[in-house]
A and B are shown apart, each in its own frame.
Chain A
Amino acid sequence: MMNGKQYIESLRKLKPRIYFMGRKIESVADDPVLAPHVNAAAMTYELAFDPRYEDIITATSHLTGEKINRFTHIHQSTEDLVKKVRMLRLLGQKTGSCFQRCVGCDAINALYITSYDIDKKYGTEYHERVKEYIKYVQKEDLMPAGAMTDVKGDRSKRPSQQVDKDLYVRIVEKREDGIIVRGAKAHITGAVNSHEIIVMPTRALEADEKEYAVAFAVPVDAEGVTMIFGRQTNDLRRLDGDVDCGNAKYATVGGEALIIFEDVFVPWERVFMCGEYDFASQLVEVFATFHRQNYGGCKVGVADVLIGATANVAEMQGIAKAPHVIDKITEMIHLAETCWCCSLACSYEGYKTPSGAYMPNPLLANVTKLNITRFPYEWSRLAQDVTGGIVITLPSEKDYRNPETRKLIDKYLKGVADVPTEHRIRMIRLVENLSIGAELPESMHGAGSPQAQKIMIARRSNLEMKKEMAKIIAGIKPDEHFKRIRGISEEEFFSKLK
């Protein structure tokens, strides 16, 4: 396993082609805008060596028997699934941000499960390839990005109906030694500071869309791969110092990139699906289930930090004992713990797949994520309410560092007498960072937009059974238990009343 420092060092050895703000990034590890995201990912490595946390950050590989980082583990029990969400909450608390590494973890687990089923139907050899790849990832302790979301062009059209065929990643050539792929994946978390990219299809496909049924892995610096790092609200505040960005060490959200594959060669040993269009929806659903499981872990860890920040601000501004403030902070805790319950529940209700790996309960995992598309907006609203208008009107760090204005800010932006003004400013900036910027749309769309969860919930909830239950209670269908309880039929029982 690598520790945090070794992970950062490992990035310096790679040469990915990355652009940001019109310039080429020379070193992901050292660029001031990207470095905080790197630090957040590094935490997933560092805690594996801390005896206080290693029990959940490490696991034993079922493939090699070696001790590995849990982010490279294939879940072997419901206990593993639970430990995964425990690990995510912990890392949310330690970084107050997205630490990015869950996507690759979910990708290897989804591939492990699906490749087994593909092989069973078609006699292919994907599962062995996936296993070999996972062994490599475990041994080197790599961070693969998980790239599922295609750019999709006109959303009303299928991949094969798009005017430009490259708007979904596709196979453009099959060769003796491998395949050539073309297309782009959008919003890919942690891609710029990953070692590898795992690509999977983004949706169910039909028989005439075999070219889009492709899953594979390539190194981030493979020839033909270009990444354009996305802008975030307030991202360049990182160049101004360590106060205005609110979370200078670990940034906010994962740091997402548009990844373009311009005729990239993938050797066969890294191809995990190639034309099996009828398994695309399974791969998407399994991946989505794992990924939606996560959000009541990581987001709740981040919410823990926001709740703490809000409570600190309340103290610093002299309102901590006001009943409505206590109520609002309690409400934030209630919302966060509700999401935690969801993540735990879908993990404890997980099950063994034919591959031997475990996956969470899909219905409950989708419920988890659907709550996350709502509750963070509410807990952020409460944080902003308690913090006051200052959450968006604070003077800049530069004005605070300027001796001319610093004394004025120190005097007039003081809260309670015994707290330095700078502490109050730092805490308010943290509330701003966690409740206003990229955090919220990430809750909305990361792991799929709300409608995607609604579709899965509708499909998995067995509405017919619920209709049947209602008919029995309403006396439209016979109730076998009532007859046993009373010894006579419902008709006879109620005829006495008529």
Chain B
Amino acid sequence: MRIGIKYCGGCNESYKREMIEEILKRELKNCQFFYSNNADLIVCISGCKKGCAAEKVSGNFVHFDEWVGENKVLTKIKTKLSELLRS
């Protein structure tokens, strides 16, 4: 599975956005990661509720705009991945 990571510009982030990328790379060893929209799943990482990272994204994506804790990050991604695998 190809995962594209799309960050917002990070002008005034309310949490350390990189934490999400680190978790994904650590836990999803079978996936390949790119900084590109050309992917099976795009993970949009916004630093705040304005949600700039997801503004112009379409297709299969998940969006984080606040820190929800490691477990919730993984659950959200894994749910989306299994949805994609089923379809």
CB pair B53–A55 under 8 Å, yes or no, is: yes
Please, how many angstroms separate the alpha-carbon atoms of A52 and B7 in the complex? 5
**Interface range on chain A (Cβ under 8 Å from partner):** 10 to 19
CB pair A51–B9 under 8 Å, yes or no, is: no
Segment among B11-19, B22-30, B59-67, B74-82 that sits at the interface with chain A: B11-19
Partner of B5, one of A51, A53, A56: A51
CB pair B5–A86 under 8 Å, yes or no, is: no
CB pair B17–A89 under 8 Å, yes or no, is: no
Q: Cβ of A55: which chain B residues have Cβ within 8 Å of it?
A: 6-10, 52-53
Q: Cβ of A86: which chain B residues have Cβ within 8 Å of it?
A: 9, 11-12
Interface centre among B5, B9, B17, B35 (most CB of A within 10 A): B9
Interface centre among B5, B8, B17 (most CB of A within 10 A): B8
CB pair A52–B17 under 8 Å, yes or no, is: yes
CB pair A53–B12 under 8 Å, yes or no, is: no
Q: Is A87 in contact with chain B by the CB < 8 A criterion?
A: yes
Q: Cβ of A90: which chain B residues have Cβ within 8 Å of it?
A: 9-12
Please, how many angstroms separate the alpha-carbon atoms of A54 and B12 in the complex? 14
Q: Cβ of B18: which chain A residues have Cβ within 8 Å of it?
A: 52
CB pair B11–A56 under 8 Å, yes or no, is: yes
CB pair A87–B11 under 8 Å, yes or no, is: yes
List residues 12-61 of chain B with CB under 8 A from any CB of chain A.
Answer: 12, 17-18, 35, 52-53
Q: Is A83 in contact with chain B by the CB < 8 A criterion?
A: yes
Q: Is A57 in contact with chain B by the CB < 8 A criterion?
A: yes
Q: Cβ of A87: which chain B residues have Cβ within 8 Å of it?
A: 9, 11
CB pair A89–B12 under 8 Å, yes or no, is: yes
Interface class of chain A by DSSP: helix
CB pair A83–B7 under 8 Å, yes or no, is: no
Please, how many angstroms separate the alpha-carbon atoms of A54 and B53 in the complex? 11
Please, how many angstroms separate the alpha-carbon atoms of A93 and B47 in the complex? 14
Distance in Å: Cβ of B43 to nearest Cβ of chain A: 12
CB pair A53–B10 under 8 Å, yes or no, is: yes
Please, how many angstroms separate the alpha-carbon atoms of A63 and B14 in the complex? 35
List residues 286-333 of chain A with CB under 8 A from any CB of chain B.
Answer: 304
Distance in Å: Cβ of B18 to nearest Cβ of chain A: 7
Please, how many angstroms separate the alpha-carbon atoms of A148 and B69 in the complex? 50
Q: Cβ of A304: which chain B residues have Cβ within 8 Å of it?
A: 12
Interface centre among B5, B8, B12, B35 (most CB of A within 10 A): B12
Please, how many angstroms separate the alpha-carbon atoms of A86 and B9 in the complex? 8
Distance in Å: Cβ of B11 to nearest Cβ of chain A: 4
Please give me the residue from chain B that is nearest to A89 by CB atom: B11
Distance in Å: Cβ of B41 to nearest Cβ of chain A: 16
Q: List 29 A-B contacts (CB under 8 A).
A: A51-B5, A51-B7, A52-B10, A52-B17, A52-B18, A53-B9, A53-B10, A54-B7, A54-B9, A55-B6, A55-B7, A55-B8, A55-B10, A55-B52, A55-B53, A56-B8, A56-B10, A56-B52, A86-B11, A86-B12, A87-B9, A87-B11, A89-B11, A89-B12, A90-B9, A90-B10, A90-B11, A304-B12, A340-B12
Give the interface of A toward B (CB within 8 A).
Answer: 51-57, 83, 86-87, 89-90, 93, 304, 340
Chain A to chain B: the 4 pairs with minimum beta-carbon distance, closest first: A56-B9, A86-B11, A51-B35, A55-B9
Known: A90-B11, A340-B12. 5 other contacts (CB 8 A): A52-B10, A54-B7, A55-B6, A83-B9, A90-B12
